[in-house]
Structure 1
Amino acid sequence: MDKELKQLDNTFRKLPQYPTKVIQFGEGNFLRAFIDWQIQQMNKQGLFQGGVAVVQPIDRGMTKVLDEQDDLYTTLLEGKLNGQKVQDHEIIESINETIRPYEDYQSYLDLAKNDDIQFIFSNTTEAGIAFDENDNLTDQPQNSYPGKLTALLYERFKLGKKGFQIIPCELINHNGNTLKEIVLKYAQLWDLGQDFVDWINQENDFYATLVDRIVPGYPKERAADLEKEWNYHDRLIVKAEPFLIFVIEGDKKLEKLLPLKEAGLNVVVTDDMQPYRNRKVSLLNGPHTTMSPIARLAGIDTVGQVMKDPDFYKFINDEMYQEIIPTVALPEQELNDYAEGVKERFENPYVNHELSSIALNSISKFQARLLPTFKRYFAKEKKLPLRITLALASYLKIYAGKADFAPEDTPEVLAEFKELRQKDNYVQATLADEKLWGEDLTQFPGLIDLVKQDLQIIDQQGSRKAVQMINEKED
């Protein structure tokens, strides 16, 4: 560490220390560059005047590092926005405190006492909004995010206080409705009573959302140079593209309670977010989830490198135009324009978006981001989408433990694959596993054979050869 540089701390704060109005489950790169950044923009204009209490939702995390910097960090925005080049950095002052339920559960429950808190945001990945039948109210804490949330809501209810505006940012469809359903399921499982159920329904609003901002995270290759340029140390620099859109489905009253739009941010509050979601998840997240396993197996590390590689560029471009766009029920020109914008964002020379970060919890991502397109394509074309199927085969190779890198996923998914890879019929058993995919994928004729064929090519000639062979085929 360069001793001449000062450590980022409270002496860098410029805004007042506002009262805590937000509970945020998750301290990762995305929420810090998306939600906390937007709260900062409102606070700078005096529109919100609120801070954030960050809850670390899993046992291991980054909250202690945040605390060492007095909960400050820097966002670095680089890229193009509305055709203009953007290079900007800003110290984010939105976070007031961090809470670690696995170390101090009572401090977590004490958040229920704070009358200033109105909002709950979360991003616990697609795997986070899930029901765990082993969770109990007496756990300190519960394993699942919805279990922890239910315990906090019950504490709030017992205190006779008002409810919350609950806004999950996990990238699953109907995330707000799903989260509410699981909370109510815990209320029943834990026998918390009809009064509590009524309070959940009447005093709390759950919103469905769509979030969109590419956040590569910590710029490790440039961090030392950036610190020298800024003249301070920051272990939590988070890099992001300038573009963002935040689509929220629910009561329009939120626009006044949370004046993001008034602050000039690209926020849409609507009664139907599905057109926005289908476009984004299909054409941005889908290609990400496709390229991640295939390109990593070929030794490629970043999205930018994928887009500079002639083989992989054609592969992803063809996936967009031949396998995805024909399945999305929106005007073709609108989809074409969006696809070109996505490619520009993928090619952003300032965003070093690592494929390994996209690969976290890949199985739930495949189910949420690619499987719907796979099914729509099969129903429409009466054949298998070759590129999405190659991605599926690549995941099966990686999760079988046959890659140069290990998969990063939930303990439950990793345990399931540990059992599956002992089977002689690994491919068939894995594709048929409803725990992984939500349904039996062997119902699609020819899928077992095509996945086996893809795996053979990858094993013998490499994933690049598999990409080249698909590129050469006429769709």
Structure 2
Amino acid sequence: MKPLLSNQLFTNKSNRPIKIIQFGEGNFLRAFVDWKIEQMNQIGFFNGNVAIVQPLSNGLEHLIQKQDCLYTVRLNGFQNGEKINTNEIITCVSSITNPYQNFPSFLDLANDDDARFIISNTTEAGIQFDATETFSMDFPSTTFPGKLTQLLYHRYIQNKAGFILIPCELIEKNGEALKHAVLQYAASWKLGEEFINWIHLENTFCSSLVDQIVSGYPKMQEQELWDTFGYTDHLMVTAEPFHFWVIEGPSWIEDELPLRKANLNVIFTNDMTPYRNQKVHILNGSHTAMVPPAILANLETVEQVMQDKDLSQFINNLVQNEIIPTLQLPRNQLENFARSTLERFKNPFIRHELKSIALNSISKFKTRLLPILKNNIEQKRNTPDYTIFSLASLLFLYKSDSEERQDDEQVIAVIEHAWQNPETLVHTLLSNSNIWGEDLSSLEGLEESLQTHLNNIEQFGLREALHHLLAKTEV
């Protein structure tokens, strides 16, 4: 048995001041944020460590403490055509606190004048307000914003400076949502106007957009990796080499968090909307578009899609001809992002199953691809046949009950009912504003095009229908 990764084994850990309080000890934050802190520290641009707060009563506190807050990040995949395979011990985590077991030590984090940033990832459901909670400084709130309000209040009563807060939860305008929840708690708990003013004046809530596939603990390879490392590590985490972080806030934040000086793929901006649209439509939109035709073609993973001549061409044409022309960033920047996205899709080291992306495909289509479809039609570009073909594949996939059809029960019921009358199916579904939020049947040429692609899939099968589309659009 190899020795456990700990301070006794690894003696190069530096005693730096704690500059970041991090709500969340999961794989993503440790591979995405803490890895970046490590890079800044190594180059000498930051000189700061991280104090982790375990957001739930059950978590990794014991394991992290047993390994003296040390763990390995593995980057595995391709970047700019080059194979990346690195293993790095992360040393920037100083401590982990479980507020449910030691609430005073949690509040003590607010006493540290060096602590400047609060970063979080408590899942999409983590930023919420519970109106039933009552205020106490003796035990933790059940929600993340509640515990954050307690920490901020403890900071405030000591007349200390506020924080820069950068949530990483996957919701739109997460910084604004977090601030709103904190203010709700401050008002509900009657903590006073002076505290509320301090929240506004002394704290900066930034919204952020994160992008990296973190596949987590490599269970199937653990013994092989331990032999390679020469130590046992129960906290190692695997991620793809690509990373992208957009932070929306005042420009001066970059001076305090010099991520770009460490050559990291981070953007500071006063408006993250174009970057969000870039990710939502190119990356997420491609995922959503590929799933129905790929499943109908009996494929299982994103990598298989990119190895498939027909479907990889389908995705490339969709991105280049229908998605990129609708976005607001410079064309070369969008093409670079698209190129890196397609390279990521080919990563043989990450098994990204299509059925895991298929969940709630109708709502995903509405968010990620419907704006693309509408923009192309309304701006009188070429008919967005690839987007429409994906929708046709989705409707056909939902025709029968299968394990890939994982969606809202009411949406499935509407589609099943519409399939009972195939002649009016397309018009019935496009005009259903309960599904799309509007009547799509009036969009010029959409009904006819969707009906054609649906007929082709039903009559000839997915492959022949796709061949027909590719031949038509290559002319």
What range is the shorter-chain TM-score in?
A: 0.7 to 0.9
- Alpha-carbon distance in structure 1 between the residues aligned to 2:181 and 2:397: 29
Partner of 2:214: 215
The answer to whether the 8 A contact 2:140-2:147 is kept is yes
Matches within 5 A, 1:121-136: 121-136=119-134
* Selected match of 1:94 from 92, 100, 105: 92
Partner of 2:251: 252
- Alpha-carbon distance in structure 2 between the residues aligned to 1:138 and 1:466: 60
In the superposition, relative to structure 1, how do residues 440 and 76 fare at CA in structure 2: closer, same or farther (>3 Å)?
Answer: same
- Alpha-carbon distance in structure 2 between the residues aligned to 1:157 and 1:113: 10
In the superposition, relative to structure 1, how do residues 204 and 442 fare at CA in structure 2: closer, same or farther (>3 Å)?
Answer: closer
Partner of 2:161: 162
- Alpha-carbon distance in structure 2 between the residues aligned to 1:306 and 1:421: 30
The answer to whether the 8 A contact 2:398-2:405 is kept is no
Partner of 1:374: 370
* Selected match of 2:49 from 51, 60, 73: 51
C-alpha displacement at 1:152, in angstroms?
Answer: 2.0
Determine whether 1:443 maps to 2:438: yes
In the superposition, relative to structure 1, how do residues 96 and 331 fare at CA in structure 2: closer, same or farther (>3 Å)?
Answer: closer
Counterpart residue identity of residue 9, structure 1: S
The answer to whether the 8 A contact 1:219-1:352 is kept is no
- Alpha-carbon distance in structure 2 between the residues aligned to 1:445 and 1:220: 47
C-alpha displacement at 1:35, in angstroms?
Answer: 0.8
Determine whether 1:7 maps to 2:20: no
C-alpha displacement at 1:254, in angstroms?
Answer: 1.7
Which structure has the larger Rg over C-alpha atoms? 2
C-alpha displacement at 1:267, in angstroms?
Answer: 2.7
Determine whether 1:194 maps to 2:193: yes
Partner of 1:338: 337
Q: Deviations over 1:68-119 (max 9, x none)?
A: 3222211112334444433211111121222233444443333222322111
- Alpha-carbon distance in structure 2 between the residues aligned to 1:396 and 1:26: 37
Q: Deviations over 1:238-281 (max 9, x none)?
A: 22222323322222222222222233323332223332222123
Partner of 1:38: 36
Structure 1 unaligned blocks of 5 or more: 408-416, 429-438
In the superposition, relative to structure 1, how do residues 81 and 108 fare at CA in structure 2: closer, same or farther (>3 Å)?
Answer: same
The answer to whether the 8 A contact 1:246-1:267 is kept is yes
Matches within 5 A, 1:18-417: 18-138=16-136, 140-289=139-288, 291=290, 302-310=301-309, 312-321=311-320, 323-332=322-331, 334-353=333-352, 371-378=367-374, 380-381=376-377, 385-386=387-388, 389=391, 403=403
- Number of aligned residue pairs: give it: 439
- Alpha-carbon distance in structure 2 between the residues aligned to 1:293 and 1:446: 22
C-alpha displacement at 1:40, in angstroms?
Answer: 0.8
In the superposition, relative to structure 1, how do residues 442 and 167 fare at CA in structure 2: closer, same or farther (>3 Å)?
Answer: closer
C-alpha displacement at 1:342, in angstroms?
Answer: 1.1
Counterpart residue identity of residue 246, structure 1: W
C-alpha displacement at 1:199, in angstroms?
Answer: 0.4
**Which shows bigger deviation, 138-147 or 92-101?**
138-147
The answer to whether the 8 A contact 1:86-1:242 is kept is yes
- Alpha-carbon distance in structure 1 between the residues aligned to 2:295 and 2:51: 36
**Which shows bigger deviation, 20-29 or 243-252?**
243-252
Counterpart residue identity of residue 8, structure 1: L
- Alpha-carbon distance in structure 2 between the residues aligned to 1:467 and 1:95: 51
- Alpha-carbon distance in structure 1 between the residues aligned to 2:22 and 2:299: 34
Counterpart residue identity of residue 257, structure 1: E
Secondary structure at 1:191 match in 2:
coil
- Alpha-carbon distance in structure 2 between the residues aligned to 1:107 and 1:297: 54
Secondary structure at 1:86 match in 2:
strand
- Alpha-carbon distance in structure 1 between the residues aligned to 2:213 and 2:415: 35
- Alpha-carbon distance in structure 2 between the residues aligned to 1:132 and 1:298: 46
C-alpha displacement at 1:445, in angstroms?
Answer: 3.8
Counterpart residue identity of residue 438, structure 2: Q
- Alpha-carbon distance in structure 2 between the residues aligned to 1:21 and 1:146: 20
Structure 2 unaligned blocks of 5 or more: 418-433
**Which shows bigger deviation, 85-94 or 376-385?**
376-385
C-alpha displacement at 1:212, in angstroms?
Answer: 2.7
Calculate the aligned-residue CA RMSD, in Å.
4.1
- Alpha-carbon distance in structure 2 between the residues aligned to 1:405 and 1:141: 40
The answer to whether the 8 A contact 1:294-1:394 is kept is no
- Alpha-carbon distance in structure 2 between the residues aligned to 1:368 and 1:132: 28
C-alpha displacement at 1:164, in angstroms?
Answer: 0.5
C-alpha displacement at 1:62, in angstroms?
Answer: 3.3
In the superposition, relative to structure 1, how do residues 66 and 112 fare at CA in structure 2: closer, same or farther (>3 Å)?
Answer: same
Instruction: Give the TM-score normalised by structure 1.
Output: 0.77
- Alpha-carbon distance in structure 2 between the residues aligned to 1:278 and 1:310: 27
The answer to whether the 8 A contact 2:126-2:143 is kept is yes
- Alpha-carbon distance in structure 2 between the residues aligned to 1:369 and 1:59: 36
- Alpha-carbon distance in structure 1 between the residues aligned to 2:403 and 2:271: 41
